[in-house]
């Protein structure tokens, strides 16, 4: 006579299906394509800071003259737009910023390539580069105004000097950090200097160039603000300076937001370029 054993009762933990490690990935996939987890945390942190700032402003721990809230800054934006002057200021500052950055790239890129590639050129130019890099370029503003006048030329020159050295130095460093084995192999196959520049030096230096341009954006924005403090008729920096003299703190914050937004947008664009060409970096 056989005795059949009854099935052993399973506990709740045993009967619970194992959670797949892909469940977390599936949850992340429910987010929109443009809203990654990193961006979600960043946007949340910004919202928290803005809400806290507005609460502190509403409590009037400090008067509005000293600490306006985000709503006050938005109202100042509205007043600037209604006045119409903001569009002229934005156009003037954008021209000075883009022209100075373009000159910095056009001059800094080839000079950096030459310094990084040819030792004799580096020996000849390094004293001048080190001298100008160590000198506060803002201190050259009076000289540039005397030489070029108070028009847009002196403003563009200031922006150019501020943005030049990040591009130049990063480009030279990128060339100097190239894999020498690749260069020797290319020379063994009879590649000329021009072919080496085009096929080895430039592709391997692109990530450094993009990084230098990203750093140059911040320096160029400083140059625009400083340049417009000296005899400018239009510009966001001039508007901020005038508002500060008239104790319009919310307008000063509005101009600061404009500069910050321009820096964030340009930096994000250049970071995308840097990430796109990151695979071009020659590994050791």
Domain ranges of the chain: 36-67, 73-280
Helix (H) / strand (E) containing 282: none
pLDDT of residue 4: 47
User: CA-CA distance, 252 to 56, in Å (whole number)?
Assistant: 19
pLDDT above 70: residue 233: yes
**pLDDT tens readout for residues 56-107:** 888 888 787 888 989 999 999 999 988 888 999 999 999 999 999 999 999 9
pLDDT of residue 141: 87
Q: Is 269 helix (H, G, I), strand (E, B) or coil?
A: helix
Task: Give Cβ neighbours of residue 51 (< 8 Å, ≥ 6 apart).
Answer: none
Half-sphere exposure of 26 (CA within 13 A, CB side): 5
Fold of 73-280: MetI-like fold (1.10.3720)
pLDDT of residue 181: 72
Split at pLDDT 50, 70, 90, the class of 37 is confident
Query: Nearest to residue 94, comparing CAs of 253, 219, 236?
Result: 236
What mean pLDDT is reported for the chain? Answer: 82
**Stated pTM of the model:** 0.79
Stretch 29-40: mean pLDDT, rounded? 67
User: CA-CA distance, 187 to 181, in Å (whole number)?
Assistant: 10
The torsion angle over the Cα atoms of residues 120, 126, 127 and 132, rounded to 10 degrees, is: 150
pLDDT of residue 195: 74
pLDDT of residue 2: 45
Query: Nearest to residue 73, comparing CAs of 265, 262, 252?
Result: 252
pLDDT above 70: residue 224: yes
- Contact between 163 and 223 under an 8 Å Cβ cutoff? The reply is yes
Split at pLDDT 50, 70, 90, the class of 111 is very high
pLDDT above 60: residue 176: yes
- First and final C-alpha spacing in the chain: 77
User: CA-CA distance, 235 to 255, in Å (whole number)?
Assistant: 10
Q: Which one-letter DSSP state was computed for residue 150? A: S
Task: Give Cβ neighbours of residue 219 (< 8 Å, ≥ 6 apart).
Answer: 162, 163, 165, 166
Residues in the chain: 284
Task: Give Cβ neighbours of residue 93 (< 8 Å, ≥ 6 apart).
Answer: 224, 228, 235, 236, 237
User: CA-CA distance, 279 to 222, in Å (whole number)?
Assistant: 31
Query: Nearest to residue 159, comparing CAs of 99, 233, 110, 92?
Result: 99
Q: Percent of the chain at pLDDT above 70?
A: 84
The string of DSSP letters for 38-54 reads HHHHHHHHHHHHHHHHH
């Amino acid at each position: 006579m056989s005795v059949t054993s009854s099935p052993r009762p399973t506990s709740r933990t045993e009967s619970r299906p194992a959670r797949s490690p892909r469940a977390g990935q599936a949850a992340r996939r429910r987010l929109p394509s443009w809203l990654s987890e990193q961006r979600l945390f960043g946007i949340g942190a910004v919202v928290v800071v803005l809400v806290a700032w507005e609460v502190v402003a509403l409590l009037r721990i400090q008067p509005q003259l000293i600490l306006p809230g985000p709503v006050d800054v938005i109202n100042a934006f509205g007043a600037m737009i209604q006045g119409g002057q903001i569009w002229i200021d934005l156009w003037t500052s954008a021209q000075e910023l883009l022209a100075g950055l373009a000159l910095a790239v056009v001059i800094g890129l080839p000079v950096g390539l030459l310094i990084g590639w040819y030792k004799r050129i580096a020996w000849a130019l390094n004293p001048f580069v080190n001298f100008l890099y160590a000198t506060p370029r803002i201190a050259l503003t009076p000289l540039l105004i005397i030489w070029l006048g108070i028009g847009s030329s002196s403003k563009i020159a200031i922006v150019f000097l501020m943005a030049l050295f990040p591009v130049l130095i990063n480009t030279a460093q990128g060339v100097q950090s190239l894999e020498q084995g690749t260069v020797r192999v290319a020379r063994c196959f009879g590649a000329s200097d021009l072919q080496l520049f085009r096929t080895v030096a430039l592709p391997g230096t692109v990530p450094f160039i993009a990084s230098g341009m990203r750093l140059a954006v911040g320096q160029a924005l400083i140059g625009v603000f400083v340049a417009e403090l000296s005899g400018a008729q239009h510009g966001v920096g001039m508007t901020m300076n005038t508002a500060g003299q008239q104790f319009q703190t919310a307008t000063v914050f509005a101009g600061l937001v404009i500069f910050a937004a321009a820096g964030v947008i340009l930096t994000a664009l250049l970071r995308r370029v840097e990430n796109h060409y990151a695979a071009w970096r020659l590994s050791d």
